[in-house]
Chain A
């Protein structure tokens, strides 16, 4: 069975597919994210494995009808385990010419295009920059094109409801959803129930959406445009209870789990920024966990509030995206010096500066490692998939608390908003990661705040309110042990080395490299963060083609796993794909003197399986 095009087996009325990639595309105001979400939930509940890729403009209302204003939602559903949202769509739903134009280059020949032909008026074509109507000029000859008058049928279907024409017209996204649900034999009931619940109080909208949804299904059934619907059967995933999860929610839950297992109250301070705000939104809903959330006046304040909370005995967390991480640098450096636990979440987005706020990138790795003045080592942890954000956040909390250090957790826009099924974890199996607060003097001269644990090198955490342990600490260099101000040269050198040794020592407390080796592999592909899915899909394709390749993926970027040097040395060729200009590759080359080849992409969208496969084959044949 080919991996490239979905395998089809005709069976009665419906034809079977092993997988399909559908992209809903329209104007930002067309409700594409909404119907994409619905189709995703529906397919998840149906039992497919899936992955999604939302893509929308940074502007809330970009100019209507223009290419810049196009919003799309891609969902990959399958009857087997998948790891990416798919390369290009097999089916593109385009609500207007701009949506067609913006997405056409992602389609491979033979794909299906369903257009809302009512949206292809002269003005619409004009706004999208089309001189000729692409539906008539032969430029779509490579595709199977269905022209469906979605707007007019929707208005017709809602005629008897006495809804305002504007409301009727706006329901056309549910027509598109209805049609796609028919095409892929999705159950009707969950959508109907969802519409009824969601718009319970808005009768007109509810009725119009229901009518549009039904009209879309009926159109598929009766229009004789389509030969037959398709089926994508449930995937056989490991047993368990599943839910759909996006990365930002998984981060929030991982932090809550971390706080619980560390037996600490969480303080989460943040300043709104795309694509990190949803972590703040999510945590703010869960105050009954004792979570204290706070929208600070800026990112500097948020980080400083977190430092104050950490000093006072909370699990202190601050979340942001690139521009905010720039601002937090000085406070993170303070936490390094104060040796207090704190988690900084950076949901990476395309930079520099404002860059492309809603687009994904992995360009903050070196900033996370080195973006502070002075020798300022900070452990860095990265999540590999939307659901993995839970475990990654938990790990960041564990390290922060155990080693009394700020820890940076890297996710990115793709993980933050992309959804995938997640087998709910067994929370009772999570380890106890609590550490005791200091309660008594630790030295003849009373309490010494920098008298370290000999194993972890962590200093005692004595929180205000504890009788007898009053102490003053600050960003000025401290005397080893007593913590008193010291400008002594030897002491400073010792402290610089101690802070570094504490972070380096974490290597003994983390697993070895997560390695997917294959006998005979000469090529090792090494990645970090959200490229995991694309690399894995590329590796599967290469192996399906009969070649051998190994895949290593890093959860810990600082310190690296202890065996990383040995693993790298085992393979004659090492390829490092990254959504930056080669930041991990540079670290690996510098650290291990290995000839790592960099494979980079900075287009604001994830790597595709096909491009991974091609590049791996190129390396193998080199």
Chain B
């Protein structure tokens, strides 16, 4: 054996391609827990209302806790500016053209944003229902927004997104009369994919339902520190 240079070695690996990222995500989550920083990864299709919901949420909660936002966009900083205008620390992450954020990018984002004293941070992920579901960011919890115009069958078409989400916000309920969106069917479809999911219908435009979502966040922040 020794001295041979033309050796080929077949090595059994049997690891998911996401293995390295999953490990980095677990490390980040452990650190966030020990620092008492509750990080929520917010995912959805483009335009379902992530930035609008964040603005509403910040308005409601900024007097009771310290909030920061990390905005991921393929290449613009409109959302970061919108959120910063609501009065919280915000930065734009550069995904380098990527369709999702991973644990490494999330860590870099948190490091470049001063998170000292922050209780609650949001990660506005790239608008996409496929890739962000596969890449664990290391966040404390995953939240997703499904908006009424997208249809009540989305949980059937993008099962993984619904499986990994701890809470599903059903946004734009103000336009329900104009779409044949069946709220009960939607709940059934979500719970079939993820029986543990919390489902909160809301309207980010008027603020209806935002109370229930803010309560979910308060409970989350508290439990994360316990």
A binds B: no
| B interface residues, Cβ below 8 angstroms from A | none
